[in-house]
Structure 1
Amino acid sequence: MKRNSHPAAKGLLNKSFPYYDELTYVFGHDRATGRFAETFADVGSNEPGGGYDRFDMGDGNEDFSSVYSQGVDISQDDVRASRPSRASEGRTRSSGSKRKRGSQRDFDVEAIHLALDQTNEQLRQIAEWPARNLANDNHVRTEFFRILREMPELTSLDRALLQRHLLSRMDDLRGFVLMPEDEREGFCRVLLRDIER
């Protein structure tokens, strides 16, 4: 079976295409990724009933996970650039040989190491969260006790009631500590009135 090609393309057969690698960065693996790119959800369906309207396709954006956005100096264009290059990894610019370019391999390995380092850092921070929260909570409690001691208008019973009520509600306790000083007395009076009811 003979394959027919367009007459204008006959002169291009078996010729190197010097812009192949650059265009794979723009168009990815047989698809566009720029601002004019359309997803299946954008294009719609050939089905008379709407087809794609029945599927939850999201907004079509390709957001990368937060690994690439938290403290890593790598743009999403760099991340995308490392992915489409797989379409051309068996080719070089000047010849059709199947040898993989070393610089691309180095870039891929470096990107993997960068992602692993960032993931390890995130896991370390997650492991430290309980200790940080405990230290922060202890600081808030200490500040709360200091503020109550410095409020001479409160009796010992008032302080005990406020402590019993607020120490079990960390968000309310933080709010009290962060509250402007001139509003604390009124807050305490309202809270004590509600507690005594």
Structure 2
Amino acid sequence: MKIVIGRSLTALGIVTALVLSFSSTAAEAQEVGFEIAEVEVFPDTAPKTPDYDVSSAGLNIRDEARKTWFRMVVEYETMPEWIDELTFDYYVLMRPPEMEGRQESPQPVVFHKKIDYVYIYQGDEHFSEVFMHPNSLRRFYDGDILEWAVLVSYKGREIAGESSRQGQGRWWEQFSVREGVLRNRLETPFAFINIEQYEEIKPAAR
């Protein structure tokens, strides 16, 4: 398994006595027939806004204006013929850059995104992704501190998980979590690229 590791949280003086034991979920994952194969995280997987072949009177598409998005990709395998629903909870910690005129150092921020996938057919090339808009990335990422975790649940039971601080505790629980910044694939311009390679996202309840 490939895991991209962020800078150590100990550099921020963050410690915890809680142990995040993903091994405790191993039996659950085996029972369900699920395994995380690989996790890749920005900047290794940083894509630029896609360039669609479209045009409109009075509008120009400028390639040089395309910006870089944050992207985190989880590749996973499923063994049963069908799994009707899986939930992925993403946690991404970033430290905002220093701002001119402010003396205090910015505090790290944890972003959360929950994504429900439905009707997953058996196979070894399933992908889940989470994104952050280029402007949000510029606002919240100082280019240094980046940590992440992903938890996978089936019928309300946590069956798998990976973290850049594996075995270091549920560190994200020490922060106030911010919603609405991370995006699923359908909430980005990448929604129509290789669409059949990705599972169906369950619409949010209204």
TM over 0.5: no
Hey, which of these two has a bigger chunk of strand by percent?
A: 2
Hey, which of these two has a bigger chunk of helix by percent?
A: 1
The structure, 1 or 2, with the larger RCO (C-alpha pairs under 8 Å, 6+ apart) is 2
In terms of Rg, which structure is larger? 1
TM-score normalised by length of structure 1: 0.25
TM-score normalised by length of structure 2: 0.24
